Chain A
Amino acid sequence: MYGKGLRPLSIATVAALVAALSLVFFYAPLDADQGFIQKIFYLHVPLAITALVGFVVGGVFAIAHLRSGNSKWDAYSYVSIHMSVIFGVAVLVTGSIWAKASWGHWWVWDEPTLVSFLIVFLMYATYYPFRYAIEDRERQGRYASVFAIVAGAFVPLNFMAVRMAQSLVHPRTFGTANGGLPGSMMLTFLVCLLAIGLLWVTLVKFELTAKSASGQVKRLRRALDAPAPGGRSRVAPEVS
């Protein structure tokens, strides 16, 4: 059910990633201030935007789950958050590398962008123990949805806090003041954002397909495992 359209989506993602990398290294000009190091921007920022939007999307799916009671939306919410956490790891690592190259430190505690993202990331890192601490599947889904909604509402605060913080260390890239990004850089950035966004959607779809297949196998096992009258089960126990 979930696997429909996965192949064309995967092809589009690979094509977009190849186009994005080509633009980054063969088209986008070198930044006058940072030089070659600025190339990390085309990876780091789209990853951060996609991860944060993914967290919000997880919250929206959680609302759909609480409203309808359909566990499908809970699976969507879980996978969206899971994928955004993975992207979050990439954001933190690439950000640290960029910080080391630009500022000489792997981490800077007085930089609001970094710290606020770390707070959001750590908050979502607690999603897994919170979810799996509850044994009852029904309650697990409901409580996880409440968490996803509350945390998802907190994410826009991350953007607002950074916007309001007047830091000279982390300049506003898309600000209209001081010119913002030149056209070629903006085009490269938008293609990168599209590619990373497509990658997120593809991986979410891929994981949902795998989860759905696993669920179907479990259902089939249960159906086949139903013992015949007077007989006993002959299906091996589930591989955990």
Chain B
Amino acid sequence: MRRERAYLILRDQSMGEVHSFGVLGLLAAAPALPLDEAGKYVAGAYIVFLALIVIYVAIMATKLQRIERELRELAGFAEQRNGEADREREEVSA
């Protein structure tokens, strides 16, 4: 209850002073960001969602890195093969 009251006071104060409070003021001006039991569950739900997205993006980034490595390897091989073919052509013409 004390927390809620403190939050309400902070919110009321910050309504007119959002700019001076900065981020804290903005958070306090939100319709409701209680730090009680409900806040814990809501934060949990949004964090789970964020974590899933981050894990997925990390997996995809690893895959893309592997593709990039393979492409580099193949490009090197193709250049090497072209070089050999050019040399053979030069030898034949000579």
Contacts and interface: CB of A to CB of B under 8 A. Distances in A.
B70 A221 contact: yes
Nearest to A234: B77
Interface of A: 25-30, 35-37, 39-40, 43-44, 47, 86, 89-90, 93-94, 97-98, 100-101, 199, 203, 206-207, 210, 213-214, 217, 220-221, 224, 234-236, 239
B74 A235 contact: yes
A36 B34 CA distance: 8
A137 B56 CA distance: 26
Interface of B: 26, 29-34, 36-39, 41-42, 44-46, 48-49, 52-53, 56, 60, 63-64, 66-67, 69-71, 73-74, 77-78, 81
A100 B60 CA distance: 32
A213 B67 contact: yes
A96 B79 CA distance: 56
Given A36-B39, A214-B63, A86 B45 contact: no
Given A100-B41, A101-B38, A239 B70 contact: yes
B8 to A, nearest CB: 12
Contact of B45 (A35, A97, A224): A97
Which 5 pairs from chain A and chain B are nearest by CB?
A101-B41, A36-B38, A94-B45, A97-B45, A40-B45
A24 to B, nearest CB: 9
Contacts of B46: 43
A35 B78 contact: no
Given A217-B67, A217-B71, A224-B81, A210 B60 contact: yes
